[in-house]
A = this chain, B = another copy of it.
């Protein structure tokens, strides 16, 4: 038997995306978004209400970054989701985060968040809340790289948002190999 929960935005896993932007004075802002994901090979789409300072900033600067919230930054990552940059001018300082200007796009990333997608604005549609960015580069702090030079989940603990229980969880163990395990059913 199945139980119905109605029309709800429930999915597993959901990301915890930290969107970094500058305002007209070069003040960095960050917000937390879970409704989004990769939408093409070099594109990310995120639903962001136009009342957020992030949208005013993105429309002025034509750029944003998306950093992946991790276990070490869970409190600050939650904070930037519950407090508005319109009301709290010291939002980033309260997080203890250090904004660094991207070399590629007109937006900041935060030194403490070790993995970032640097994005140019493609479009924002008010009616659908859809912010679309072209991924120009993905960068990662060397401290989260494995010996093979790739991002290592032994050194980096991205978090995921649980839309049912409103908790943050880490990513767990390897249970399969993509483009490989399924071949045994061919």
Contacts and interface: CB of A to CB of B under 8 A. Distances in A.
B166 A162 contact: no
Interface in A145-186: 145, 149-151, 153, 156-162, 164-186
- Per assembly, the copies of the chain total 2
Contacts of A162: 153, 171, 174, 178
A168 to B, nearest CB: 4
Interface stretch (A3-11, A19-27, A50-58): A3-11
Contacts of A145: 3
Contact of A7 (B138, B151, B173, B182): B138
Contact of A3 (B117, B128, B135, B149): B149
Interface string A33-51: 0111111111111010000
Nearest to A40: B47
Interface string A70-96: 010011111111110000000000110
Contact of A158 (B13, B38, B135): B13
A11 B35 contact: no
Given A40-B35, A153-B162, A140 B45 contact: no
B168 A178 contact: yes
A108 B86 CA distance: 45
Contacts of A174: 162, 167-169
B42 A142 contact: no
Contact of A13 (B15, B39, B129, B165): B15
A79 to B, nearest CB: 3
Contacts of A35: 37-40
